[in-house]
Structure 1
Amino acid sequence: MNSVVELRHLTKVYKSMIALNDVSLSIEQDSIYGLLGRNGAGKTTLMSILTAQNFATSGEVEVFGENPYENARVLKRMCFVRESQKYPEDSKAKHAFANARRFFPHWDQVFAEELIEEFRLPLNTTVKKLSRGQQSAIGVIIGLASRAEITFFDEPYLGFDAVARQTFYDRLIADYAEHPRTVVLSSHLIDEVADLIENVIVIDRGSIIIDDSAEEVRKRAVNIVGDADAIARLVAGREVIHRESLGRVASVTMLGRLSSVDHEYIADANLDLAPVSLQQLIVRTTQEGPVDPSAAATEVRSVQT
């Protein structure tokens, strides 16, 4: 696959706060990425720099092989949909769509009209009088109908109810299948978007701690429940990211893959295995602090018997 974004040693400092710390990253063409992490982790700053709405303190940024700053060739190929997008005081939804239609070369007006109907969006009401969900719908419709080669969605649907969010997910996947492009989806609703994303990027305190396919990320951890002493022997010397206990029963989430010897031990000790959801993995790793990404991908040593 071809890389459409390349970041090399990107750093962004706000006064005494480091928002991004020596970030190096590649984003491939025609793939859906989940850009995940806690509030203030650096997700919005990263997307703002990539779309030339912010400036790096140091490092290199390339989008389609060029610097995006004041570069119309690059900017018209990207769409950045962000939470709480600002519009002129008297602006209406129809004005936002008219401007988008002029700016984005691949704009699909028929698709936009279908989405307007699905989201039940009034076109002649000023944006400031629309509900939070209706305001979110404007950005989502622009992000989908623009069919930009790279589209960044920065929590644009937070005002949506469950039905509207599902409509967005369904429409995104269906249109992506027919019109592949690169989508970067930043979300706190990790469980909801887990089945949409093909690649996972996790930022914690300005640093990339996970950058891998969603399939590989799901294999990085396992949850084990059962006798506390048996589990203690199993996880000795391994990287545990969460631990709970109640009397003689323990529940442990640990990084790494299990060997055949591990599985034999687990069966003999009558321990229970459970997969770790993408949300659980990200919550646990960001709760406990950054985890060495290389350590998470390595095979775990076998249990000594």
Structure 2
Amino acid sequence: MNVKIDFHNVTLRFKKFEALKNISASLEANKIHGLIGRNGAGKTSLLSLVAAFREATDGQIMIDGEPVFENPDKMQQVMFVYDKSYAEEYDKIPAMLEFVERHRPYYDKEYADYLLKRFKLPLDKPVHKLSKGMQSAMNAVMGLASRAPITIFDEAYLGMDAPTREIFYQEILADQAEHPRTFILSTHLVSEMDYLFDNVVIIDQGRLILNEDYETLTARGASITGAAEQVDEFTAGMKILNEQKLGGTKKVMVYGTLDEQRLSAARQQGLDIGPVSLQELFIHLTEEAQ
């Protein structure tokens, strides 16, 4: 399912407030895209446009070269899963899944049945009587089993405990390997979920800060660990993201690519060079954008 998403100068206004500001980007097909941003950055606004829940004020969102808004063929290719209240939902899980099956042509019932067992979900209780964690797991089943060419999870893990979230992540990776599609995962749990991402999209205050391959992005920083004095000397003049000291040992995270000459010099001084976390880079990039 080779389904690509293009944003062309997308702006979204609510009266005088600009939720999204002139966003242009392409999201490659069959990749897992991590969408990250601070609270109120515009993540959900952006995703609601992809799902055609609303129309952009200016600009256009295209799926495989066609506008998605009021385009039934393209709309059914998108499954948008988000955290919502089920307080008034008296149906049981099978009825919820039947609705997905009717409206999403790639839905896989056999896979849904497998996921229901994997998440240990009860089929005989009304949805409003399920715990928050079970409702979140049901959301995960609906999104995964839809096999929609574009599957969006917007903070869909809310309510899941850590073991359930781990099952959710495992299933995303396993199904992506067998049945590739375009995933967009919007999250605050950056350090927990970063290993899932092929590509990272960062937005801040409605603006696109970055849309980049995960490996390329994380290579922009490094952690340097060793004797405090040597680490300070080596990192002098670099952009420091974070530093920690324990006794005579220091670990410093820096922003900037280290060339082979610098890496060789670090090794000769007995310094350990490691990767920098996506979370540290995210904090730095969104601080810079303020």
**Alignment TM-score, normalising by the size of structure 1:** 0.85
1:148-192 superposed Cα distances (whole Å, 9 cap, x missing partner): 111001111211112211111111211111111111111222222
TM-fit CA distance, 1:136: 0.7
C-alpha separation in 2, matches of 1:266 and 1:198: 29
TM-fit CA distance, 1:271: 4.2
Contact 2:79/2:150 (8 A) holds in 1: yes
Residue identity opposite 1:114 in structure 2: Y
Contact 1:33/1:185 (8 A) holds in 2: yes
The number of aligned residues is 289
5 Å-filtered alignment, 1:47-58, equals 47-58=47-58
Matched residue SS, 2:177:
helix
Matched residue SS, 1:125:
coil
TM-fit CA distance, 1:217: 1.3
2:149 corresponds in structure 1 to: 149
Contact 2:3/2:149 (8 A) holds in 1: no
Change beyond 3 A, Cα 1:161–1:244 = closer
1:65-108 superposed Cα distances (whole Å, 9 cap, x missing partner): 21111211001111001112558542322221111111111111
5 Å-filtered alignment, 1:1-305, equals 4-84=4-84, 89-225=89-225, 226-227=227-228, 231=232, 234-236=235-237, 238-242=238-242, 251-267=251-267, 270-286=270-286, 288-290=287-289
Change beyond 3 A, Cα 1:165–1:71 = same
Matched residue SS, 2:41:
coil
Q: Gapped runs of 5+ residues in structure 2?
A: none
Change beyond 3 A, Cα 1:175–1:189 = same
Contact 1:235/1:254 (8 A) holds in 2: no
Change beyond 3 A, Cα 1:21–1:243 = farther
**Alignment TM-score, normalising by the size of structure 2:** 0.89
C-alpha separation in 2, matches of 1:3 and 1:108: 19
Matched residue SS, 2:90:
coil
Change beyond 3 A, Cα 1:285–1:247 = farther
Matched residue SS, 1:6:
strand
1:295 corresponds in structure 2 to: none
Change beyond 3 A, Cα 1:63–1:261 = same
Change beyond 3 A, Cα 1:85–1:273 = same
TM-fit CA distance, 1:264: 4.3
C-alpha separation in 1, matches of 2:10 and 2:243: 35
Between the two proteins, what is the percent identity of the paired residues?
37
C-alpha separation in 1, matches of 2:120 and 2:92: 14
Residue identity opposite 2:71 in structure 1: N
Q: Gapped runs of 5+ residues in structure 1?
A: 292-305
C-alpha separation in 2, matches of 1:29 and 1:103: 22
Moved more, 10-19 or 27-36: 10-19
Moved more, 132-141 or 203-212: 203-212
Matched residue SS, 2:185:
strand
C-alpha separation in 1, matches of 2:116 and 2:182: 23
C-alpha separation in 2, matches of 1:87 and 1:172: 27
TM-fit CA distance, 1:239: 3.6
C-alpha separation in 1, matches of 2:51 and 2:240: 38
Residue identity opposite 1:29 in structure 2: A
Change beyond 3 A, Cα 1:174–1:250 = closer
1:42-77 superposed Cα distances (whole Å, 9 cap, x missing partner): 111110011111232222211222111121100111
Matched residue SS, 2:66:
coil
Change beyond 3 A, Cα 1:248–1:163 = closer
C-alpha separation in 1, matches of 2:166 and 2:234: 44
Change beyond 3 A, Cα 1:119–1:3 = closer
Moved more, 134-143 or 272-281: 272-281
Residue identity opposite 2:103 in structure 1: F
Change beyond 3 A, Cα 1:66–1:93 = same
Change beyond 3 A, Cα 1:163–1:230 = closer
C-alpha separation in 1, matches of 2:232 and 2:164: 43
CA RMSD of aligned residues (A): 2.6
Moved more, 251-260 or 145-154: 251-260
